[in-house]
Structure 1
Amino acid sequence: MDTVPIFSKRYHVDYGDADFYRKLKLSSLFNYFQDIASLHAEKLGLGVEELHEKQGVTWVLVKMLVQMDRFPVLNEEIIIETWPVEPKRLEFERDFFIKAAKGNNILGRASSSWVIMDVESREIRRTELFPANLPAFCKERAIEGRMGKIKANGQLQHVYNKIVGYSDIDINGHLNNSKYIDYITDCFSIEKHSQYTVDTIQVNYSSEALAGDSIVFYKDISGLESGTVYVEGADEAGAKTYFKACITLK
């Protein structure tokens, strides 16, 4: 087992990773985070396949907070660094830096919280019950402060409905975390995307969305003039919330 506490990987912003404005899509960045977190977990002996085979559990992302100074552009090379933070009772935290390959200056930073879910029962396992030899934890945090609760401040507007399909589902059998980001950004027009760029985004994933589920998307743009918007996804009955997201714009 490799006990290196900080892991890094170089990424190239390809055509499939960029948007209409030739900048890295937010969902592609979330894919990068998922990729490098998985690679580091494998080096620590905590990879998805190994956990599934030996413990019957898997990693599930429950919160992500991203702060961006500048989005990388098409054909730019970046370096993402990641490291785990000392776990809490139910959550493992992992931080990230996004750096320019040229100059090594920080373009953005992120903090995430993950839980261990039993594959069969879909219940959360406590961290102290999880057998693992983890490396020494870094004290540095990419973003100071805790990720709190998210709620709308104004009237929710219905945007659209989405039925979760085959292409949306990942190896855990539920809607992949990066797909939520595509759906969130689809709540706003091309024109709005040309006027604003994301400064920060926090997403709290509340419930699993499975194939065949219908997600109803709502947004609250009452704070748009001050640069804040809110998006959430719920089931058609309004009994279940799949996620809540708060975005600050610039």
Structure 2
Amino acid sequence: MDISNFYQTELWGQVEEFATIWPVDVLDAFVDCHDELHLGILLLLIQETANQAYIHRARPEEHGFSSTMRWYLAWNCLRNLRLPRRNERIKFITWVNDVERVIFSRDTVVVDAEGRCIIAVNAGWFIIDRATKRPVPASGLSSMFPIARPNPPLWRPMRQRLRFQMDALRPADWDLPKSVLAQPGNCHRTIPRENRPVYFSEIDRNGHMNNTAYGNRIADRFDNVKGTNGRVTGIDISYLSEAVHGTQISTYGEVLELSPRTEITPVDVMGSLPVDRVALLFGEKREPATNADESPGEACFRSRVLLTKA
């Protein structure tokens, strides 16, 4: 398949009529010290792209979406060939690819000025009725959006459901071929526990810690922990329970160093990504003003991160 131009792919031909396109200029305020888009800002723009699709595509008032209902994220899976750079003009393209039980599954790609797919995202969204505090079945609201079901889909296989437990890691938790996991040069490293409260600046309009803040915290662990630094080329986050202002979140995990480096192809329209390290991070939460050294708290999030040496 020709991966140089997303608009020439079979996938685009199948999803074009269902997609929302949102052009974005990468402003100075969006980039880091390397003139690349901040990971947290990228997650924020992906979230806003879904919101733009809701504004311009959905017909909520016709399909029973009430004022007490709110959108929440269940998972986010992201792979990137490279991060957009300062002053670059990019386009976010998004569509709903499936509806199952309470989940709207949404795909998003980011293309550069030449039409190349540089970022691919799969996210699961669900709706909570704040009046009842219960999820709303997606089937009853599915007609809000036109649903694309491309064949083959953007993501094969789906990677959104992270079920790993940090005390009993299984090969499937790393999401890598068995041949890669069996490389004799591989080694494991522990990511020590870090405790931080949820700050006021990290909460969103629902009163919960925003997914952007999760991404920033996860990325920070690989700047601060010796031997784990590198460029993030992929990140999967499963949001297990909400955290509010003042909640103590404890994160810890493991890093698998790959030797030699391996190449993965997350989506056909992107091509292969080099991976030197894979990290699994687990987040536990405790209520405000509790001792972070007490017994394990409630599961808050799980994450898988792919890193390439800088």
Structure-2-length-normalised TM-score: 0.71
Distance across 2 between alignment mates of 1:77 and 1:166? 32
Q: Quick check: 1:149 aligned with 2:162? A: yes
2:207 to 173, 177, 195: 173
Cα deviation for residue 231 of structure 1 reads 1.5
Aligned to 1:15: 28
**Corresponding residue number in structure 2 for 1:239:** 297
User: How high is the sequence identity, in percent, across the aligned residues?
Assistant: 22
Deviation at 1:245, TM superposition (A): 0.6
Change (3 A) 1:17 1:136: same
Task: Sort the Cα spacing of 1:230 and 1:194 in 2 relative to 1 into closer, same or farther, 3 A.
Answer: closer
**Aligned pair partner of 1:45 in 58, 61, 79:** 58
User: RMSD across aligned C-alpha pairs, in angstroms?
Assistant: 2.7
- Check whether the contact 1:97–1:142 (CA below 8 A) recurs between aligned residues: no
CA 57–78 in structure 1, closer or farther in 2 if over 3 Å, else same? same
How far has the Cα of 1:234 moved from its partner? Answer: 0.6
Residue 91 of structure 1 corresponds to which residue in structure 2? 103
Deviates more, 1:187-196 or 1:228-237: 187-196
The correspondence for 2:241, drawn from 193, 204, 207, is: 207
Matches within 5 A, 1:67-216: 67-100=79-112, 102-130=113-141, 132-139=143-150, 141-147=153-159, 148-151=161-164, 152=166, 153=169, 157-189=191-223, 196-216=230-250
**SS of structure 1 residue aligned to 2:45:** helix
Q: Distance in 2 between matches of 1:81 and 1:96?
A: 5
Specify the SS of the correspondent of 1:146. coil
Find the aligned partners of 1:194 and 1:239 in 2 and give their Cα distance: 25
* TM-superposed deviation, 1:45: 3.1
Output the CA distance in 1 between the equivalents of 2:228 and 2:28. Answer: 19
For the residue of structure 2 that corresponds to 1:145, the secondary structure is coil
User: Aligned partners of 2:281 and 2:158: how far apart in 1?
Assistant: 20
Q: Identify which of 48, 51, 57 aligns with 2:69.
A: 57
Q: 1:15 to 1:97 in 2, by over 3 A?
A: same
Shift of 1:31: 0.6
Distance 2:284 2:30 in 1: 28
- Aligned residue identity for 1:143: W
- Going from structure 1 to structure 2, the CA distance change for 1:53 and 1:90 (only over 3 Å counts) comes to closer
Runs of 4+, deviation exceeding 6 Å? 49-53, 190-194
Q: Is the 8 A contact 2:95 2:147 kept in 1?
A: no
1:224 aligns with 2:242: no
Aligned residue number for residue 66 of structure 1: 78
SS in 2 for 1:54: coil
CA distance 1:171–1:190, change in 2 (3 Å): same
> Where do 5+ consecutive residues of structure 1 fail to align?
none
State TM-score, norm by structure 1.
0.87
* Greater alpha carbon shift after TM alignment, 78-87 vs 184-193: 184-193
CA contact (8 A) 1:161 1:214 kept: yes
